[in-house]
A and B are shown apart, each in its own frame.
Chain A
């Protein structure tokens, strides 16, 4: 099983300031087809998770360009260039290279 480790656990942020979340996988998520099967999801309070970033760095439809994903192999980062109030929630990384599909433990982003 691929283990996903996120940090930090909690991230207090100031609106308008940048924020960054890290995720590390226990093995490379690069497939032989050249795709890296790494994802970011956001679960807003009281809601189901929604896709933010797919294949490491591609924003999902409707996701603001203040969100960006980067990284390769086993180390990945989600950056928010300027945090807005609607960005609060729990951010999860996920790997889909192999089953069982596994998620990181989550990073709770809250406004200071």
Chain B
């Protein structure tokens, strides 16, 4: 059974950079047709896709965060990470990592099939 676990600081100072890591267990981050994703949820609000990375390093981001977000992968540790720079109070949210199953042309594709439990990040001085 694949499991994902977010780790990182729960409190970030304004203007600083958030660094979160997602550790994948029960499966290889390099195997299969998966993109490794970050999604956030502002308090009491809906879901916002931040971006994803393929194990070979290909990335894509939502336009509103593209200038501040960087997603990277460390296949040797079976981890992927999110850096989000210039944090403000508006970035306070629960950050989820998730596996995105991408197999175009298949009848089971473009699916977030495994999620981490989420990590609450508060931006405050």
Q: A54 and B47 in contact (CB under 8 A), knowing A48-B118, A99-B60, A100-B62?
A: no
- Assess whether B111 is in contact with A33, with CB atoms less than 8 Å apart: no
Which of A15-23, A76-84, A102-110 lies at the interface with chain B? Answer: A102-110
- Assess whether B113 is in contact with A51, with CB atoms less than 8 Å apart: yes
Interfacial residues of chain B within 44-65, with CB under 8 A of chain A in the complex: 46-49, 60-63
| Residues in A neighbouring B109, C-beta threshold 8 A | 35, 55
Task: Tell me, yes or no, whether A86 is within 8 Å of chain B by CB.
Answer: no
**Closest CB of chain A to B39's CB: distance in Å?**
8
A–B Cβ pairs within 8 angstroms, 27 of them: A33-B105, A35-B105, A39-B110, A41-B112, A48-B98, A48-B115, A48-B116, A48-B117, A49-B47, A49-B112, A49-B115, A54-B111, A55-B109, A58-B107, A58-B108, A92-B46, A96-B110, A96-B111, A99-B62, A100-B49, A100-B62, A101-B62, A103-B49, A104-B46, A105-B46, A106-B46, A106-B47
Residues of B within 8 A of A (CB): 46-49, 60-63, 96, 98, 104-105, 107-113, 115-118
Task: Tell me, yes or no, whether A1 is within 8 Å of chain B by CB.
Answer: yes
A49 to B118, alpha carbons, bound, how many Å?
10
A101 to B101, alpha carbons, bound, how many Å?
13
Task: Tell me, yes or no, whether A50 is within 8 Å of chain B by CB.
Answer: yes
- Assess whether A37 is in contact with B105, with CB atoms less than 8 Å apart: no
| Residues in B neighbouring A51, C-beta threshold 8 A | 111-113
Known: A48-B118, A49-B47. 6 other contacts (CB 8 A): A35-B109, A41-B47, A54-B111, A55-B109, A102-B49, A103-B48
